[in-house]
Structure 1
Amino acid sequence: MRTTDRRVVLGLYRSRHRRDLLTAALDLGVTAIDTASNYLHHRSHRALGELAGDLLPKFSVSTKVGYFRDGHSLSPARLREAVETAVADLGREPDTVLLHNPERSGPDSRTMVQACAVLADAVGTGWCSSWGISTWDPRPLVGLAVLRPDVLMVRSGLLVSSSVLDAAEALVTAWRPTQVRGMSPFGGSTTDPVWQKIDPRLFLRSPDATPLQAAFRVAFALPGVEAMAVGTDHAEHLRELCGGLEHEIDADVLRAYRQLLRQSA
């Protein structure tokens, strides 16, 4: 087993929740899982508890609440029930519970504070160790007041627009989360034709990374995040990404890219 690297989080959005993938992740030193109540057709928590309940204590588990079978809701009562159900279905308390894409409900500051309070209370009652907010599109959330989150999770990488990057950075400044995490570093798929048209290695100081390693590494700086959730069903893909983490980003190239991105927006 390799040394634990908490920068890489195995995301389960598109995963089939296979036990062998979880075992392979542990062998690679990946000891964090990110899921949500609505993943796997609203069965993710139960599937993890049934298929890998004995492995879950070896992982730091983060999950998200906010999506229900009848749609999205920030109702405090429904969020509270969702957290309780997650604990029961997982067979353990998750380490982190995130408010899932609150922008989908078009909240105001009062609604956000009430929703955040449910998750903060969940920490106080022992249902989780930390709480936070996960947002796919942070732009509608800029300017809203919230309780200070432990974690802010945002979209990251070369396919994220300038306005979304700027909004994510504005939330970091305003909300002062303890940790910022990224997600979807490849914009959904490494097989997207765009990855055949660009060479992310231009952003690194050394050229000996693979293009996917380079894209993954650069995503940690667009915007600046400390950990990255990446989804895969293939252990070799996860191994390749872990192998590219030590490459150094060329700050001058990154700065020029952000300037060009803003000019073209």
Structure 2
Amino acid sequence: MTRLDTSSNYLRHRSHEILKETAGDLLPRFSVSTKVGFFREGHSLDPARLRRGAEHVVKTLGREPDVLFLHNPEHSAPDAEALAQACAALADTAQAGLCRLWGVSTWDPRPLVDLPAPPCPDVLMVRAGLLVAAGLLEAAESLASRWRPSRVWGMSPFGGSATGSVWERFDPRIFLRGSPPVTKVQAAFRTSFGLPPVDAVAVGTDDIRHLRELSDALAYDVDDEMLQEYRRLLDGRRQPA
């Protein structure tokens, strides 16, 4: 594991300090992505505040992050101008050397779909996996098509829990080619790379066995026809997110 994803507001707004203390001299060996925009008082898209937030990230982390995300801008109910200014502020942080790349991380991309495209982010992060509703999948794919980020990352592939009851009732192994000897968790994780299509998927765990299990799942192939059939069924249901 060489990539870490966090946010300035995790662990009661102390995630950067804790990561720095825990990793110590090993931290430069990792690629670190983090997020700004969710402050102690709530979400904000104010460009000046985002800039200060980016500077605080570098100070508390002790290094520039590889990717700095604008965190859930939909929570601020932005109009086109507010979103464009916030994205421009993040782009400026990359130009200033406060991060290597910048991006947008959105839990619900639907409020952003109809807004004019902002400055093109390097990375777009969206929810991914079998539990993401059809409307959210469409919105994520629409943003990726319109914004044209260099990379699209996924998050929350298990809908919050890899041990939830849904995985007892449903077997995601049907989405893998050749019926490989994998666990349900592995199948759900591997399938999440296609719902929507993403280059990487972030997971949260402190269990090395779980991480190894997910890493091993990358060796298997998704059955594209089964995935397309699932999308058709999902579109037919059209349940609210």
* TM-score > 0.5 by shorter chain: yes
Name the residue aligned to 1:212.
Answer: 185
Runs of 4+ in 1 over 6 A off after TM superposition: none
Counterpart CA distance in 1 for 2:99 and 2:231 is: 37
Q: Does 1:233 align with 2:213?
A: no
Deviation of 1:206 (Å): 2.3
1:68 alignment partner in structure 2: 39
Residue matched to 1:153:
125
CA distance in 1, matches of 2:234, 2:171: 16
Alpha-carbon distance in 1 for matches of 2:18, 2:48: 24
**TM-score with structure 2 length normalisation?**
0.97
User: Deviations along 1:104-147, whole A, 9 cap, x unmatched?
Assistant: 00001111110011111111111100000000000000022210
What is the CA-CA distance between 1:51 and the residue it aligns to? Answer: 2.0
Alignment of 1:49-198 (within 5 A): 49-144=20-115, 145-198=117-170
Q: Of the two structures, which has the highest relative contact order with CA contacts closer than 8 Å and spacing of 6 or more?
A: 1
Partner of 2:142, secondary structure, is: helix
Aligned 8 A contact 1:206 1:247 in 2: no
CA distance in 1, matches of 2:119, 2:74: 16
1:55: Cα distance to partner?
1.4
Partner of 1:26: none
Question: What TM-score, normalized by structure 1, do the two folds share?
Answer: 0.88
Of the candidates 246, 250, 257, which is equivalent to residue 219 of structure 2?
A: 246
Matched with 1:16 is: none
Partners of 2:12 and 2:163 in 1: CA distance: 24
Deviation at 1:53, TM superposition (A): 2.8
Identity among equivalent positions (%) equals: 60
How far did 1:233 drift? 1.0
Q: In structure 2, give the amino acid aligned to 1:184.
A: S
SS of 1:254's equivalent in the other structure is helix
1:208-232 Cα shifts (integer Å, max 9, x gaps): 1111100000000000000110000
User: Aligned AA for 1:219?
Assistant: S
Residue aligned with 1:195, SS: helix
- Per-residue displacement from partner, 1:140-181 (whole Å, max 9, x unpaired)? 000222100000000000000000000000001100000000
- Paired residues of 1:53 and 1:90 also in contact (CA < 8 A): no
Q: Deviations over 1:35-68 (max 9, x none)?
A: 0000011000111112213111011000000101
Residues 66-88 of structure 1 deviation map (CA, whole Å, 9 limit, x = unaligned): 10111111111111111000000
Which letter does structure 1 place at the counterpart of 2:59? A
CA–CA distance in structure 2, aligned partners of residues 53 and 66 of structure 1: 26
* Amino acid paired to 2:118: V
Q: Secondary structure at the match of 2:217?
A: coil
Distance (Å, rounded) in 2 between the aligned partners of 1:53 and 1:103: 34
